[in-house]
Structure 1
């Protein structure tokens, strides 16, 4: 380590700071990215710090199982997190000398942990390089229990196994666009196992593709042909579906309540050379000036289907927000249905695994709106068991497990009378 550079300014130091924020302060990882220990790093080091923190969160319990027998009592959380990071790196085959030395250095750099630097050294010297993390981290009880009830214990165990793995990167691309080397999935997304930095991938600057989980990319095609149609993307940020709609030839209006997130939509549209009318507004008060042929409502939800990409979520959320989200989803759905032309279609989407935010919402909506019908999905590449009895699409992380899984989603295409 060069003189004058403290351990805290390394990617490992920043990763520990991120873990302390998530596990100690209850911040989502995205909220912790403003920390000076992270923000001061160059882009490549920030990316590595984030990867390290995410890696620890995916296997926190298995790492703890390795550590517990090596200590008489639990150390303070910052020391725990230094040890957890070291265990995860050692399990991946990292050089023990570098891992142990920097772990000790991280402890020494902080007056609150410096007295435990010797403990860290003694513990890690007992851990072999390549130590196996054999167990799989379980979901918290507030989430696991309803999922077991909905899908069965075996399915939930399979979901947890997928969530323990680093997810691949999925791209949605336009025909003829330059793309990186990858595997074409049955539904048309391109999957990259060794992703690297997104902005350096072939074709990024040309704008012929964008990052979008393969499951998320299935929502827009549920609408069928939308060429020349007036389509609303409601709760649009970060804009993957907006770009899909525009690329399919629709006249797109994108609405989102967040100004900064809507700015990202505009940036993505500019890079890809696609057009949409972007509006920052609250969908509960905004009113369009004319009806739409079709609407995509990607409603705010618990995001429990995205844990493979956001493993911090189970450590920060406790399920207490779900009741309010369910009420909000229903209100948005009712409001959006009123903006459709007769015979218009609305795709209701949540990135949640919980039936309360999916199947139950559909049942309630059909009861509230006589004449509303569900259009069964006919997408190529989807399996029959993904389609619910009501004709919606229920996607789970354990689907395509051999390919790296997918995010969990509920999607239903509703047609008005």
Structure 2
């Protein structure tokens, strides 16, 4: 709600400020902070605007700070409200195309006294000087250094290019033969539509003909393939992989510890009308009634691989978090291995660009579980342009499928349990 005397649109900027504060100062995920930060807003458009401003600010944060620092005599503290407000104003003008007068007039009410004069002065100086953002954004230094060391200079450069704008939207089809959307297909049962598409207005939405799922996120279930036995999808919400398995004929139980995330599973089940069971439980304490022919461990992780859609992960994921997540993943993977029936398949996946949550985890598991044999991914199981590694794993990196719109960062490994 806009307060008396404030320019129209100020409330959305105030919500964007709350979102940035939640991410950068409290380490909260942007999506999780959205409900509380925007509760005073009326209508979806204002909430969408607040989210867009915050996300664009996070995509361009290092470059925005360089501009701000170039126009201030003394460097503003990282957590100063004046810096936050200037970031918001500049992100709107230089990233979202907002007219300068609208950007500055709607952020000035967010600061009082001297900081207001400072914000106005710095913004005016930058606008008069023709401030612009580089074509390729700058990654946060710690992230760039980590990914450069892990994957090389080109992958880090590709990651910077990838974050310049929101990526296209991938759809997984319940029926590969469905032709209701005329759009590029990068794999069987897949369509890719432009970024910003109104998902709920696309053909087939109400009928449940498809669901939103990045092409890389579809690979784990592709490696399980078709079947008519029992499959477990662990840490399953929001449920894209569950839906794939159900559409492929499996009798699926989707397990997730979060009631709110399980609600997304319920929504997807209702819309697609695909049959599967839901168990709200912590997999470290849950026990299936019997071993399963296929077990998919979609393990909780730092989520650095989805930075294109969720730029907040660039500022929330750090070494300590990655190490903590790796410990949890190891416990879940070892427990899940007990639930694979003899001759069954185990697939491990994370949407992470960190080796500790991917390659290192698979190496550890192989050494600890001699009863499981690596089952390398075959070329005909993977989207064109995404190869298997020499070990038979799948590692999607920035730069893959770039000309077609890219893909999220994922790691996937597959094993078969011995018959005896």
TM-score by length of 1: 0.90
- Alpha-carbon shift at residue 172 of structure 1 (Å): 0.6
1:356-375 equivalences in 2 (<5 Å): 356-375=356-375
Unaligned runs of 5+ in 2: none
Distance 1:235 1:29 in 2: 20
Query: Higher mean Cα deviation, 258-267 or 105-114?
Result: 105-114
Counterpart position of 1:406 = 407
SS across alignment from 1:348:
strand
Counterpart position of 2:288 = 288
SS across alignment from 1:172:
strand
Per-residue CA deviations over 1:25-62 (Å, capped at 9, x if unaligned) read 33221232133545523112212221221111111112
SS across alignment from 2:57:
helix
2:62–2:140: 8 Å Cα contact kept in structure 1?
no
1:28–1:312: 8 Å Cα contact kept in structure 2?
yes
Decide whether aligned partners of structure 1 residues 413 and 39 sit closer, same or farther in structure 2, where only a CA change above 3 A counts: farther
Distance 1:2 1:356 in 2: 46
Unaligned runs of 5+ in 1: none
Distance 1:37 1:224 in 2: 41
Distance 1:351 1:416 in 2: 24
Counterpart position of 1:377 = 377
Counterpart position of 2:234 = 234
SS across alignment from 2:348:
strand
2:386–2:401: 8 Å Cα contact kept in structure 1?
no
Decide whether aligned partners of structure 1 residues 133 and 144 sit closer, same or farther in structure 2, where only a CA change above 3 A counts: closer
Structure 2 residue 160 is matched with structure 1 residue 160: yes
2:225–2:248: 8 Å Cα contact kept in structure 1?
no
Query: Higher mean Cα deviation, 16-25 or 393-402?
Result: 16-25
- Alpha-carbon shift at residue 410 of structure 1 (Å): 0.6
Counterpart position of 2:203 = 202
- Alpha-carbon shift at residue 4 of structure 1 (Å): 4.0
SS across alignment from 1:41:
coil
Distance 1:165 1:44 in 2: 20
SS across alignment from 1:184:
coil
1:177–1:209: 8 Å Cα contact kept in structure 2?
no
SS across alignment from 2:411:
strand
Distance 2:67 2:241 in 1: 42
- Alpha-carbon shift at residue 132 of structure 1 (Å): 4.0
Query: Higher mean Cα deviation, 168-177 or 1-10?
Result: 1-10
Decide whether aligned partners of structure 1 residues 400 and 154 sit closer, same or farther in structure 2, where only a CA change above 3 A counts: same
Distance 1:279 1:267 in 2: 15
Counterpart position of 1:355 = 355
Distance 2:330 2:98 in 1: 52
Distance 2:349 2:340 in 1: 17
SS across alignment from 2:218:
helix
**Equivalent of residue 83 in structure 1, options 50, 63, 86:** 86
Counterpart position of 2:194 = 193
Distance 1:298 1:95 in 2: 40
Counterpart position of 1:397 = 398
SS across alignment from 2:192:
strand
> What RMSD, in angstroms, separates the aligned Cα atoms of the two structures?
2.6
Query: Higher mean Cα deviation, 186-195 or 333-342?
Result: 186-195
2:295–2:347: 8 Å Cα contact kept in structure 1?
yes
Distance 1:252 1:89 in 2: 45
- Alpha-carbon shift at residue 297 of structure 1 (Å): 0.5
Decide whether aligned partners of structure 1 residues 197 and 9 sit closer, same or farther in structure 2, where only a CA change above 3 A counts: farther
- Alpha-carbon shift at residue 207 of structure 1 (Å): 1.0
1:290-369 equivalences in 2 (<5 Å): 290-369=290-369
